[in-house]
Structure 1
Amino acid sequence: MGANISSKSPPFDGNEDVTFDHFEILRAIGKGSFGKVCVVQKTDTKKMYAMKYMNKRKCVERNEVRNVFKELQIMQGLEHPFLVNLWYSFQDEEDMFMVVDLLLGGDLRYHLQQNVRFREGTVKLFICELVLALDYLQSRHIIHRDIKPDNILLDEHGHVHITDFNIATMLTKESHVTTIAGTKPYMAPEMFNSTKPTGYSFAVDWWSLGVTAYELLRTRVRPLPAPQNVPCGDGLTSSLYLLLQLLELNPEKRFSQLKDIQAFPYLSDVNWDAVLHKRIMPEFIPMKGILNCDPTFELEEMILESKPLHKKKKRLSKKEKDPSKSNSSQASHLQKHLEMLQRDFIVFNREKVRPHHDSIQETMTKSGGTRREDNQNNTL
């Protein structure tokens, strides 16, 4: 994709807003229901990122604008070692853009489809890293609502990162969450409980973590069997007992806090400070030098996409020269919604807000009790 991009990008002024012009598009690596993802390089710093871009017209037509705005609002307030963090958000006439951490290790669904058999020690570290992320989200009053292998990405060293906050929601004391949202095989039973008007809480994410961990250990086709039918054999007894605590039907009794996990005997020897700072080397490291995703994304972008991203600059430049064509086919109500989207879009630049806080220190403060003695081994 990057072959047709001009290298003559404008020089970047640190005081101006980041835009599409400040990135070089390298290749497509994924797509969602209404957005696509490509690898980009920021021209001034040469740093690599993933750029998610969403067509405005499609978002309006599918009534997805509110979800995009909510995702932006949530992500701009988050930063954690085991999340896919937002760096920039901006827009142009056609698309909305979110620039996030680039993780080239592939998602866990991809590796399952490649018949990878994760060892128990690997899944144990995954669980530790993910519970730190969930504990952080809980401290920020965020329910992710879609924890599953597809939404867990690996970095080049094998550490996990939660992505896709498209259906995440914020829980406050004044409101209750009752909307059914997520991916069915990973959704907690209380989400389907119509007789309990008080709704559900953070425990739904910990149930999803349990289902995900079971799938990684067993490579068992979803949906998961009832917890009482989970076999405890093949040397996995300890880890499966932990999963039973995450798969407790009663959310009041379910493990859904970091302290619950830390107190469990299976994880009593974990150096949580070392986990947080990625000092524990994962057993599974993604293959380097290969594309850890479906290569057809690149072909689709180049061959099937009617408005490919790498031709955007030329396309928009042509529109500016001939503005009569740009709006002639748009219905008035669609144009009105597009104008509202243009006005209300949330522009974000983490580089401008980051100096005001130390996110890692804040993480450790929020996640009380995570620090252990440094004389513990940096292993699991």
Structure 2
Amino acid sequence: MGLGQSSKSPVTGDTDEVNFDHFQILRAIGKGSFGKVCIVQKKDSKKMFAMKYMNKLKCVERNEVRNVLKELQIMRNLEHPFLVNIWYSFQDEEDMFMVVDLLLGGDLRYHLQHNVHFSDGTVKLYVCELASALGYLRSKRIIHRDIKPDNILLDEHGHVHLTDFNIAAIVKDDLKATTIAGTKPYMAPELFEIFEGSHPGYSFAVDWWSLGVTAYELLRGQRPYVMRSSTPANEILHTFRKVHLSFPPSWSSYIKSLLRKLLCIDVHKRVSCLSELQDLDCMSDVSWDAVLGKAVLPGFIPNKRRLNCDPTFELEEMILESKPLHKKKKRLARKSRDQGSDGSPQNGHLQQRLDNVQRDFIIFNREKSTKAAVDPDSTEVSKCSEKKAKEDGQNNNVEPASFSSG
């Protein structure tokens, strides 16, 4: 059962901005600290996307607006085969929207929870694909800071895509980041040293540690170090310094060698860039051009006959959500008739903050940006652009009938 759709016909003029009415809302598939996610279909092109929407009032009340706007600012300047790329962003008086690639294979946390066994070869390919993404992010001076199975999505062919840039950091030149951010069990040792006041900061190497923790967890079903989000920083540092990293004897030598390089306590000896990973003996058999071109087939292919997510997201949106997305149009129309009063008048300071969100939000349209970058007088360039757009959107051309829950 889908979420329904807006009944207004989309405006098709090239000068009009993409908005909520251009999409058919199909079903809810996820939620996080910064919003909810549903599957949508663009009415004119019939392409499928994931649409993330964030309530403005909630974001203001929780002081999350800055991170939302920062994520949008970062994502609109990124485009890579192993990232979840943004296509559109827009807003209305209630919500901020980000329309991104639809990945139907589910996230790696979902598959871990369903006891999927990932082979050495599959995890090695994941590391290569994610390392390619990290190399690209480094070229953009971006530290992701939250690499973990929850933020790695699979496409229908089993390739990985990194998502969730709401706590990412941009560092200039050779400067380091100093703000503590991340998910504790995946955070690198140098991040915890900042709590002791003994470290000037950190850089791109923290993402490679997180990649190592993730790879270990995919192989073993548990992380290399036992810690929780509530574990104090001094205890975590003690664990890193005293607990010896162990591997099951059945693991291949190349996987153990790879993980030792990623999970190196000494940041100066840790693999922390793509070229260093490529130079490892255990990576000598990798064709990096084939990896980047998605020509290497993953060992695990998600089930295409089901939607790889928790089906309760749909029920929560339909039954428990006080302002469900599929009733947005009627709700806003009623609010307009009531002259802007929804029964909960804002105080002056709160309204000012909401007005600031309206002002600062960035409208984005990747299709329009791509068209603007192409010389209309060059037929060859136009053909190349069309071919690239088709390849970039290949995960979005999926018939709605293929969705099933359970």
Q: Which residue of the other structure, out of 303, 314, 323, is the alignment partner of 2:330?
A: 314
What's the offset of the Cα at 1:222?
6.1
Q: Which amino acid aligns with 2:78?
A: L
Q: Is the 2:6–2:329 Cα contact (8 Å) retained in structure 1?
A: no
What's the offset of the Cα at 1:12?
1.8
Aligned-partner SS, 1:250: coil
- Counterpart-to-counterpart distance in 1, 2:6 and 2:68: 30
Q: Which amino acid aligns with 1:267?
A: M
Aligned-partner SS, 2:352: helix
- Counterpart-to-counterpart distance in 2, 1:258 and 1:113: 30
Aligned-partner SS, 2:14: coil
Q: Which residue of the other structure, out of 357, 362, 370, is the alignment partner of 1:354?
A: 370
- Counterpart-to-counterpart distance in 1, 2:89 and 2:353: 19
- Are positions 1:153 and 2:153 aligned together? yes
- Are positions 1:253 and 2:284 aligned together? no
Report how many aligned residue pairs link the two structures. Answer: 359
1:88-122 Cα shifts (integer Å, max 9, x gaps)? 11100000000000001000000000000101111
What's the offset of the Cα at 1:341?
0.6
- Counterpart-to-counterpart distance in 2, 1:176 and 1:235: 35
Q: Is the 2:87–2:366 Cα contact (8 Å) retained in structure 1?
A: yes
- Counterpart-to-counterpart distance in 2, 1:50 and 1:344: 23
What's the offset of the Cα at 1:319?
1.4
Tell me the equivalent position of 2:186.
186
- Counterpart-to-counterpart distance in 2, 1:253 and 1:240: 16
Tell me the equivalent position of 2:231.
none
Unaligned runs of 5+ in 1: 360-380
Q: Which amino acid aligns with 1:203?
A: A
What's the offset of the Cα at 1:175?
4.5
Q: Is the 1:214–1:240 Cα contact (8 Å) retained in structure 2?
A: no
Q: Cα distance 1:244–1:164, how it changes in 2: closer, same or farther (>3 A)?
A: same
Q: Which residue of the other structure, out of 278, 285, 288, is the alignment partner of 2:304?
A: 288
- Counterpart-to-counterpart distance in 1, 2:279 and 2:130: 16
Q: Is the 2:49–2:101 Cα contact (8 Å) retained in structure 1?
A: yes
Tell me the equivalent position of 2:176.
176
- Counterpart-to-counterpart distance in 2, 1:331 and 1:55: 18
Q: Cα distance 1:315–1:236, how it changes in 2: closer, same or farther (>3 A)?
A: same
What's the offset of the Cα at 1:320?
1.6
Q: Is the 1:88–1:100 Cα contact (8 Å) retained in structure 2?
A: yes
- Are positions 1:63 and 2:79 aligned together? no
Aligned-partner SS, 2:244: helix
- Are positions 1:335 and 2:337 aligned together? no
Q: Relative to structure 2, which stretch is displaced further, 185-194 or 2-11?
A: 2-11
Instruction: Quote the sequence identity (%).
Output: 66
1:26-63 Cα shifts (integer Å, max 9, x gaps)? 00000011300000000010000000000000000000
- Counterpart-to-counterpart distance in 2, 1:327 and 1:197: 51
Tell me the equivalent position of 1:201.
203
Q: Relative to structure 2, which stretch is displaced further, 314-323 or 33-42?
A: 314-323
What's the offset of the Cα at 1:141?
0.2
Q: Which amino acid aligns with 1:18?
A: V
Aligned-partner SS, 1:167: coil
Tell me the equivalent position of 1:370.
none
Tell me the equivalent position of 2:404.
none
Aligned-partner SS, 1:24: strand
Q: Cα distance 1:36–1:240, how it changes in 2: closer, same or farther (>3 A)?
A: same
Q: Which residue of the other structure, out of 215, 218, 224, is the alignment partner of 1:216?
A: 218
- Are positions 1:37 and 2:53 aligned together? no
- Counterpart-to-counterpart distance in 2, 1:175 and 1:136: 18
What's the offset of the Cα at 1:282?
1.1
- Counterpart-to-counterpart distance in 2, 1:172 and 1:218: 37
Q: Is the 2:8–2:21 Cα contact (8 Å) retained in structure 1?
A: no
What is the TM-score when the length of structure 2 is the normalising length? 0.85
Tell me the equivalent position of 1:48.
48
Tell me the equivalent position of 2:77.
77
User: Residues 257-272 of structure 1: matches in 2 within 5 Å?
Assistant: 257-272=273-288
Q: Is the 2:152–2:160 Cα contact (8 Å) retained in structure 1?
A: yes
Runs of 4+ in 1 over 6 A off after TM superposition: none
- Counterpart-to-counterpart distance in 2, 1:221 and 1:145: 17
What's the offset of the Cα at 1:251?
1.2
- Counterpart-to-counterpart distance in 1, 2:78 and 2:98: 14
Q: Is the 2:89–2:99 Cα contact (8 Å) retained in structure 1?
A: yes
